[in-house]
Amino acid sequence: MTTLQPDTVPACPRSLEPPAQRPANARPVGTPLSRRAALVAAAGATLALGGCASVQIDDFAGEQPALDLRQYFNGPLVAHGVFQDRSGRVVRRFVVQMTGTWNGDDGVLDEHFTYSDGRTERRVWRLRHEGNGHYSGTADDVVGQARGRAVGNAFRWAYTLRLPYEGRTIDVQFDDWMFLVDERVMLNRAEMRKFGVRLGEVTLSFTRLTP
């Protein structure tokens, strides 16, 4: 199982703690010092509450065109992408040639990567539609199972990928969002984390080569 859950986010507190009793020798409300303290406290509360806001997959219910992975990843496709490190610098570009085939609710997505440094790679996803927009998937370099859900024109997908690094391998968690633009084009953005630390993100543009 992956360490990311695609359909949940941490809950925000429903209320704030009541203010502490003001001591008798405290400065009267309205002095410059107390006004500055109040402004700082208000800004801190705003930032804390703002940090609780998070996009959820159900926010896209009703968005069109509706995304069905069994229809979109069916036949030949091409994707163009970049990898950015945590500073935002583009450190790698790549092209993916892929073919999707489905037999009912079971699908195979065969991906062939060509990177800007000339390196090539292949990944074969074995996908399953589990009903009501829920999907699972496996691949040789995926740890456990990938799980995701499609709602409206969006799909959120979470998985752990085992990647080569300096002669060994490391397990990296992906939080992967896809957005269908029209029947041919879909945009994909994935955030990468290790031990909760953000490593960077991958941005992709998929194009179906047949209508």
Are both 79 and 32 inside the same structural domain?
no
Mean pLDDT of 1-19: 36
**Which residue's structure tokens are 């000339």?**
118
Tell me what pLDDT residue 166 has: 85
Angle formed at CA 207 by CA 136 and CA 130, multiple of 5 degrees = 15
Count of CA atoms in the C-beta half-sphere (13 A) of 32:
0
d(CA 62, CA 151): 8
In a domain, 6, yes or no: no
Considering its fold, how many domains does the chain have in total?
2
In a domain, 64, yes or no: no
Tell me what pLDDT residue 164 has: 85
Are both 152 and 181 inside the same structural domain?
yes
Are both 77 and 181 inside the same structural domain?
yes
Are both 81 and 183 inside the same structural domain?
yes
Mean pLDDT of 169-185: 97
Q: Which of 45-54, 74-83, 170-179 has the lowest mean pLDDT?
A: 45-54
49 pLDDT above the threshold of 70: no
Tell me what pLDDT residue 211 has: 67
Angle formed at CA 191 by CA 125 and CA 52, multiple of 5 degrees = 130
d(CA 157, CA 114): 23
Are both 107 and 181 inside the same structural domain?
yes
- Note whether 42 and 76 are within 8 A (CB): no
Q: Which of 7-16, 185-194, 199-208 has the lowest mean pLDDT?
A: 7-16
Tell me what pLDDT residue 8 has: 33
